[in-house]
């Protein structure tokens, strides 16, 4: 959700900025723009739509050695060229890009900027207009920037150019992620390291309420009291080649195919030298001391959390609650006496989850983040981190992050039960995860089967039901989310027994439904639910686990341990969603209105 890049150095900034923005396209955006600064002044280019449209309006003759860029996901003001970043001050001296939400923008606008004509509908423009006003009042540019950051409230990652200074970029950060990248004769700014990996893998994290005075050969980090801060850089261990699609038509298909490898990587990363589970002993102790675990997440990560709740309760016999972060933040339930909080986030930057984390840290409860991104905000601010090791996930619709999260939650559950009273489940988790990875691979190699399901059930449908019970219900929720977010088919996941309590009224002739059966003890119940909707005209695709199948079932999944079936049953649902979107001509990797990393509430 929104992306920032910036560059100051010895190379032509224009192409560096545009390429950086292209690396951030996966985050979701509706417009983009860059501003470059050279001896002749500021040169501003922005456009609604894809970055390809921005490239068409950029002056190829104009060069510069510093600049800032932005991909915008609309919050204040509709998607348009008018509202695209960068924004400029009334007299044109200052230019800004901004991620986040300025909560008091209307108050600032009404209180001190009412006489200034605004050229956009955004909250961001308040930043640059206020900056110019503070400088005109007699403050130095640096002091004006510091005062500005003290006055604005909310979340921001911000970069400002001064047209009268071709040697400095001013940078500030609060709640929204931002990094400074280091090179031998340059510095870069980015909200995601992947945008600048082609230039450097050395980055410095910025913390909340910090500002940076950035030059080609120097940087000065200060807090808002003006104190200078020293911070060592860290190395991002990603291969830029991992971010490329290769021969795949879409990142989503590539990432679906990578899931067996990801599960095997989780196994290798978490298996210690004695064949046990390698988890921080202090984290293990915190889990065992807790009287209840609270899983906090959003979207697909929340669905992984629901599966994790079942895994931890059934394996480790520890009570677990799973909560949607945005609901928990403003509607907190009564907490147990000794809770542990688990935050699940692919990016580690999810604003709703971070809001809960901040509140829970103030209460003094222990916290752990399960994320794909080391050094992310949620990872940095939690007490413990469990990495999913899934590698870069570029498609907006999450696939491999979901299965990696479930695998890590399973290992956390098995680690807890073994520490408490030995392996009462009678299974080797690494062996069973390996079997699941093999089963996932078998299904991935049968893509034509999922394509056939799409042709048979979804080519002309406006809606679709997903039905399951127990853990299959949780997977049904994820399958429905995948289908609607990339194909725009209205899809809902239901607990099978709930259909007759209202939803069955929606069933018409040829209504498509996908039913999951991976748990032997509820197969008769689900088949009864299926008969109820078939009697009313529904067209049902049965996805069943080997051992629970019957003649006529469309997809039979290879058998895996009952506790790990979600790793396998989700694969056909992901592929069905992919092919449904493909045949409808949808933008699979960048579905409308969505963002990969939701960094605002």
CA–CA–CA angle 261, 265, 271 (5° rounding): 145
Strands 3-8, 187-190: parallel, antiparallel or unpaired by DSSP? antiparallel
Residue with tokens 């922005």: 46
Residue in 152, 154, 147, 168 with CA at minimum distance from that of residue 224:
147
Task: Tally Cβ neighbours within 10 Å of residue 553.
Answer: 16
d(CA 248, CA 244): 9
Alpha helices in 24-170 (DSSP H): 51-57, 105-112, 125-136, 141-151
* Whether the Cβ atoms of residue 301 and residue 405 lie closer than 8 Å to each other: yes
DSSP state, 241? G
* CA 476/CA 307 separation, integer angstroms: 11
Among residues 46, 48, 175, 596, which one is catalytic?
Answer: 596
Any residues with CB less than 8 A from the CB of 285 and at least 6 apart, and which? none
Of 2, 298, 464, 586, catalytic: 2
HSE-up of residue 379 (Cα within 13 Å, Cβ side): 17
Q: How many CB atoms lie within 10 A of CB 535?
A: 10
- What phi, psi does 203 have (nearest 5°)? -135, 150
CA distance linking residue 212 with residue 576, whole number of Å: 47
Half-sphere exposure (Cβ direction) of 482: Cα atoms closer than 13 Å = 28
CB 318, CB 293: distance < 8 Å: yes
Rg of the chain over Cα atoms, rounded to whole angstroms, equals: 25
81 is catalytic: no
Question: What three-state secondary structure class fits 587?
Answer: coil
Alpha carbon 30 to its chain centroid, in Å, reads 17
Q: Assign residue 375 a region: left if phi > 0, alpha if psi is -120 to 50, beta otherwise? A: left
Nearest to 311 by CA among 188, 195, 405, 443: 405
Phi-psi region of 582 (alpha: psi -120 to 50; beta: other; left: phi over 0): alpha
At 14, give phi and psi (nearest 5°): -60, -50
Counting Cα atoms < 13 Å in the Cβ hemisphere of 58 gives 20
Residue 570 · residue 479 · CB < 8 Å: yes
Indicate if 2 belongs to the active site: yes
Tokens of 224: 């808002």
Catalytic residues: 2, 596
């Amino acid at each position: 959700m929104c992306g920032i890049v910036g560059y100051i150095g010895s190379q032509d900034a224009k192409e560096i900025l545009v390429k950086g923005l292209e690396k951030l396209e996966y985050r979701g955006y509706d417009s983009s723009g860059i501003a470059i600064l050279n001896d002749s002044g500021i040169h501003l280019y922005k456009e609604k739509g894809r970055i390809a449209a921005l490239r068409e309006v950029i002056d190829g003759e104009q060069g510069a050695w510093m600049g800032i860029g932005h991909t915008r996901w609309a919050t204040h003001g509709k998607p348009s060229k008018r509202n695209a970043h960068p924004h400029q001050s009334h007299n044109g001296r200052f230019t800004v890009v901004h991620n986040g939400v300025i909560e008091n923008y209307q108050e600032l606008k009404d209180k001190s900027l009412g006489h200034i004509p605004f050229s956009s509908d955004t909250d961001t423009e308040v930043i640059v207009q206020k900056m110019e006003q503070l400088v005109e009042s007699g403050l130095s540019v640096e002091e004006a920037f510091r005062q500005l950051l003290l006055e604005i409230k909310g979340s921001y990652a911000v970069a400002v150019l001064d047209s009268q200074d071709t040697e400095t970029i001013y940078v500030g950060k609060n709640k929204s992620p931002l990094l400074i990248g280091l090179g031998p004769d340059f510095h870069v700014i980015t909200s995601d390291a992947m945008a600048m990996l082609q230039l450097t893998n050395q980055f410095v994290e910025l913390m909340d309420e910090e500002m940076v005075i950035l030059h080609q050969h120097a940087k000065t980090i200060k807090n808002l009291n003006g104190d200078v801060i020293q911070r060592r850089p860290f190395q991002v261990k990603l291969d830029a080649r991992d971010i490329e699609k290769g021969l795949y038509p879409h990142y989503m298909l590539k990432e679906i195919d990578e899931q067996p490898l990801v599960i095997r990587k989780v196994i290798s990363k978490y298996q210690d030298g004695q064949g046990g589970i390698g988890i921080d002993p202090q984290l293990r102790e915190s889990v065992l001391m807790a009287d209840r675990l609270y899983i906090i997440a959003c979207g697909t990560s929340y669905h992984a959390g629901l599966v994790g709740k079942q895994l931890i309760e059934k394996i480790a016999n520890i009570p677990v609650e799973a909560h949607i972060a945005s609901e928990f933040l403003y509607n907190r339930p009564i907490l147990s006496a000794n809770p542990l909080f688990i935050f699940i986030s692919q990016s580690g930057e999810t604003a709703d989850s971070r809001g809960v984390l901040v509140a829970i840290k103030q209460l003094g409860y222990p916290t752990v983040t399960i994320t794909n991104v080391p050094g992310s905000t949620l990872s940095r601010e939690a007490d413990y981190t469990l990495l999913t090791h899934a590698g870069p996930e570029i498609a907006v619709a999450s696939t491999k992050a979901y299965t990696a999260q479930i695998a890590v939650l399973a290992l956390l559950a098995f680690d807890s039960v073994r520490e408490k009273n030995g392996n009462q489940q009678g299974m080797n988790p690494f062996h069973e995860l390996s079997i699941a990875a093999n089963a996932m691979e078998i299904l991935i190699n049968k893509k034509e089967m999922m394509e056939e399901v799409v042709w048979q059930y979804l080519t002309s449908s406006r809606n679709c039901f997903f039905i399951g019970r127990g853990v299959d219900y949780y997977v049904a929720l994820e399958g429905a989310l995948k289908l609607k977010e990339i194909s725009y088919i209205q899809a809902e996941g239901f607990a099978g027994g709930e259909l007759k309590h209202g939803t069955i009224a929606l069933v018409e002739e040829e209504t498509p439904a996908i039913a999951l059966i991976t748990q032997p003890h509820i197969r008769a119940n689900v088949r009864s639910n299926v008969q109820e909707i078939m009697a009313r005209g529904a067209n049902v695709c049965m996805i069943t686990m080997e051992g629970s199948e019957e003649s006529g079932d469309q997809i039979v999944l290879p058998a895996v341990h009952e506790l790990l079936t979600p790793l396998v049953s989700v694969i056909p649902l992901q592929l069905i969603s992919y092919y449904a979107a493909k045949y409808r001509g949808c933008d699979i990797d960048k579905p409308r209105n969505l963002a990969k990393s939701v960094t605002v509430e």
